[in-house]
Chains A and B, each alone.
Chain A
Amino acid sequence: MCLSIPSKVIKIDENNMATVDTMGVKREVTLDLIGEPVSVGDFVLIHVGFAMNKISQEEALESIKVYDEIVAKMNSEEIDPSEGDANYAT
């Protein structure tokens, strides 16, 4: 039931309805559940037609930076490349 993909707000109308873009799919959601101000360009999480909250881009990018650093560190330590190399069912 949960859709975890961040959606970008591209329009907000006077009824507090937002048009969001989820990976190219556009849909209408209500912002009625969000207490803080939402602006065009923000990312939100969507659940059954409602935006649940804003997603912090800074936090997301900070996490990704940490992962990139771990990757760099692991590569430089020359660990057996076959280790942990299972198939990913992506």
Chain B
Amino acid sequence: MQLDLIEGFRNPEHIKALAKLIKQECKEKINVMEVCGGHTHTIMKYGLPQILPNLIEFIHGPGCPVCIMPKERIDHAIALASQKDVILATLGDMIRVPGSKTSLQKLRADGKDIRSLYSPLDIIKIAQDNPEKKVVFFAIGFETTTPMTAVMIEQAIKLDMKNLYFHINHVLVPEPIEAIMSGGDSRINAFLGPSHVSVITGYGIFEPIVEKYKTPIVVAGFEPVDVMEAILMLVRQFNKGRCEVQNQYKRAVSKEGNTKAQNLINRYMEKRSHFRWRGIGDIANSALKLKDEYARFDAEVVFDDILPKEQIDDHKLCICGDILKGNAKPYNCKVFGKACTPNTPMGSCMVSSEGACSAYFKYGQFLNQGE
């Protein structure tokens, strides 16, 4: 059964049959943005652009939490980790991303106590085992990962932890979509909605965007068959002149989402007035912070005097911003695959395996670069 639940959604026969149907039915150009970096990865890994008609063009969206982190926030992590009495913990690829001068990885090699965790669950034990240290959790991620941080805040309060702090960098999905569309010059006319963000938020959260910008959204699972079926659903919406939110990922996503997780987030966090997205710029209400009543756990409050305040922009040659907005592809960048590779990233889209440049670098040989 477990195998069915996976293989059924990777089955090459299913992929081929859906590709044929899409070819038969697709009549107009659909520029579809996959919001989520996980989808970018699937699309590239399985070479989906090759088996789809040219009328379907993928535009890789901003949905990689590591890629959109501006350097000044990474500099915060570096400033915190540089303190003698601090242990800094974070998730995933974050430690590889260069800030303005160095990365957490390099700092760790220099002997600073920086931990890359599999799960935020570990931070309580780290804090308990190191009472003489201050433990800072550098929290990153979209709506998918925010509730996990909320659970840890709840535990920190319950256990009355005195040496555990949170540096919150949780970002939201609807606001950047809104920012990309509201310029009015976007080529995007359809969206693949994120899988796991929608598990938490529910697919209902996308209804206002569909209404406002008349772009259909299909929430899709992460497997290649999921993505193909979602494309077929978009094609059929176009053919029927419809424009709505549809849910392809029925086995995991409901309209309301995980309300327990939503309530936890709302108990401890609230929207920031604005947040600077790497490559996109400042977006109002697009990220979360701890509520004022939990300021004693908020690393941005407690360590305010050591955190750098200036904004730092990317290398002049890096066009991550245009890629995130759908106006360029990674191979349009002059340094792509030359000066900029996963081992020597110059921009954030090359750092995380979910970033567009990194996915193109890894799987790009399948692509027709003249498209």
Contact = CB atoms under 8 A, between A and B. Distances in A.
A21 B45 contact: no
Interface string A48-88: 11101101110111111001101101100001000111111
A87 B19 CA distance: 13
Contacts of B91: 1, 48
Contacts of B16: 71, 74, 84-85
A45 B199 contact: yes
B104 interface: no
B252 interface: yes
Interface string B114-126: 0000111110000
Interface string B86-130: 000001100000000000000000000000001111100000000
Interface in A20-64: 21, 23, 30, 32-35, 43, 45, 47-50, 52-53, 55-57, 59-64
Given A34-B258, A35-B260, A89 B20 contact: no
Contacts of B2: 6, 8, 21, 23, 43
Given A6-B6, A67-B14, A47 B148 contact: yes
Contact of A59 (B23, B195, B251): B251
A48 B8 contact: no
B5 A55 contact: yes
B21 A74 contact: yes
A35 B92 contact: no
Interface stretch (B173-181, B219-227, B285-293): B219-227
Which of B121, B222, B259 lies at the interface centre, i.e. has the most chain A CB atoms within 10 A of its CB?
Answer: B121
A5 B6 contact: yes
A59 B47 contact: no
Contacts of B122: 49
Contacts of A5: 6
Given A1-B92, A70-B17, A45 B47 contact: no
Interface stretch (B27-35, B139-147, B275-283): B139-147
Given A63-B9, A63-B251, A89-B363, 10 more contacts: A1-B66, A1-B354, A21-B2, A32-B151, A48-B91, A52-B261, A57-B251, A64-B8, A87-B47, A89-B47
